[in-house]
Amino acid sequence: MHSPSDDALVLHSEEPALQSQRGGRELPELAHRLRSGFVPVVIPLWRKNLARIPALISWLREQGRALPMPEAFQPRPNHFLAEDLGAYHTYVQHLLSPHALRVAPPDQELLAIASRLDHATLVPAGDRLRLFGMITEAVFVGPRVFHLDVTNACNTNCLYCWFHSPLAGARPDAAKLDRRWRNSFLEVPVALQLLDDLRELGSVEDLVISGKGEPLLHPRILDLVSEAKDRELFVTLFTNGILLDQVLRERLLQRPPDLLYVSVSAATPATYRLLHRDCAEGEFERVRANLRALGESREQLKLATPRIVLVMVLNRYNAEELEAFYELGRELGVAFVRYQVMADEPYLREAGLLAPQLPAVLEQLAKVEKKQGEGPRLVENISLQAVRLAENQTDWSHHHFLHHPCNVGWFFARSWADGGYSFCCSPKATALGHDRSFKELWQSEHYRSFRRAGKYIPSHADFTFEDGTPLYTPICNRCPHYEQMAYFDNLARSCGLEEYLWR
């Protein structure tokens, strides 16, 4: 690339901080020169303006330049990024060069980043694009995981639940969890539009149908599963298993989800009753029978799905049952067992793990891990949480995520049953209603500001979301997305690109 001529104005970014960071003339000076007369302009392509060329052209138009509007850079699925960079440069240069505007070829740093990602052939294409988005602060594909909450209604009251626990009355916002809130169901047209958006965005890896309540209470839940499968989405459905009677099982197996997470959290009827204080007589046995019958029917029909994940939310009442819970999973023929530590919310601490229980928890986990070859596999094991809990029970991350880039805005999003979208699992509103399509929101400048705040979280302490929630909240100390965060950290590290997650 030859150097721009001395009389050409070099525009690196339409954002003052980035323009200054690159050592170019300040934007006010550039604007003055442009308005004072016709001068040639050079735009060097680098990692933070690659997806911003239309924004740069809009800025130049505001200064009086008559320029055609190029399309934004969008890599093609399953193509080499380096090739797409070259093709995009050729396109914008051809479009803009007749107007005394030269777009310089991608710089060596950008080409090296693309080359390293192109060589990561074992990494799914969507995740390569998500990592490329983190590095270039752009978005080229939808979230890897989308949580679709379908209802706030529930038919039980798990002691560890944020919303329906008998302890939740001590929440600071308990008054909001009124009858209207509890009767919220996601409207089907909204859900169908969301499914269309996810398909168009390439978010096919994991649609998690969950909620602040029991998803099977939604009257159209199985229709929504079927609609998602029609769009070739991988579907994970959450349930407590109470409603999985014969009629519902037969309907479920007609168009099954890929994974069925069943939260039971007990290996014995006595522990189940402690954790579900208003449960019906024989409910634990009924859930167990439902799961056994579902597995048998699936085998008879020779179906590969749903694969069942038996979930234990670890607390003080079931901490002695980790091994027994694994054996329950083996008895029922489930594919996976998942253990997770219950949320350490102040109003739930009556049910939280006790420090003296942690050594036994770690000992049981070690035994269970050795059994995987002869029984269910463990999914998202809690060993990291458990070890750190032994050191600091209420903050197992030791503020790790306050000093680590939060890249959740590239791989996750959530929609609430009662309206709106959230940046992560905890309520951090990116939109307060469903009036705007998710695709439009995800690709918007507004959402870009959320992502950048997360990436540079130490310098965005005052950032708030649409509902006034701060960017960093106490739940970040036990981030529900720590596995996904670690996945992309490791991916970046394996490609030699880890430094770009920070800058």
Confidence of residue 47 (pLDDT cuts 50, 70, 90): very high
Instruction: Confirm if 434 and 190 have CB atoms less than 8 A apart.
Output: yes
Answer whether 227's CB lies under 8 Å from 195's CB: yes
Domain boundaries defined on the chain: 9-119, 150-392, 408-501
* Residue with the larger pLDDT of the pair 315 and 461: 315
Asked if the model's pLDDT at residue 383 lies above 70, the reply is: no
Residue 78's pLDDT band (boundaries 50, 70, 90)? Answer: confident
315 pLDDT higher than 80: yes
For residues 441 and 431, is the Cβ–Cβ distance under 8 A? yes
**Residue 355 pLDDT more than 70?**
yes
Place of tokens 């850079």: 73
The residue ranges of DSSP E strands in 118-215, in sequence order, are: 145-149, 206-210
Task: Output DSSP code: residue 373.
Answer: G
User: CA torsion, points 318, 166, 398, 365, in degrees to nearest 10?
Assistant: 10
What confidence tens digit (pLDDT) does each residue in 198-230 have? 999 999 999 999 989 999 999 999 999 999 999
DSSP 376: P
Listed ranges 143-147, 169-173, 386-390; the one with the highest mean pLDDT: 143-147
Helices (H), 262-357: 269-275, 283-300, 322-332
One-letter amino acid at 198 equals L
Q: Whole-model pTM? A: 0.93
What's the gap between Cα 11 and its chain centre? 34
Residue given tokens 């590290």 in the structure block: 493
Give residue-wise pLDDT tens across range 183-199.
999 999 999 999 999 99
3-state secondary structure of 85: helix
C-alpha span between 454 and 411 (Å, rounded): 12
Q: What is the CATH number of domain 150-392?
A: 3.20.20.70
What is the pLDDT at residue 396?
Answer: 54
Residue recorded with tokens 């942690």: 358
Model pLDDT, residue 450: 96
Supply 234's token pair: 């991988």
Work out whether the CA dihedral 210, 212, 217, 218 comes out positive or negative. Answer: negative
- Rounded distance, CA 18 to CA 14, Å? 8
SS3 state at 259:
strand
pLDDT band at 502 (very low <50, low <70, confident <90, very high): confident
Q: What mean pLDDT is reported for the chain? A: 93
pLDDT at position 393 is 53
User: What are φ and ψ of residue 418, in 5° steps?
Assistant: -95, 15
Query: Which of helix, strand or coil describes residue 470?
Result: strand
The 10 Å CB-count burial string (b at 16+, else e) for 232-260 is: ebbbbbbbbbbbbeeebbeebbebbbbbb
Query: What is the side-by-side order of every strand in the sheet holding 41-44?
Result: 9-10, 41-44, 101-104
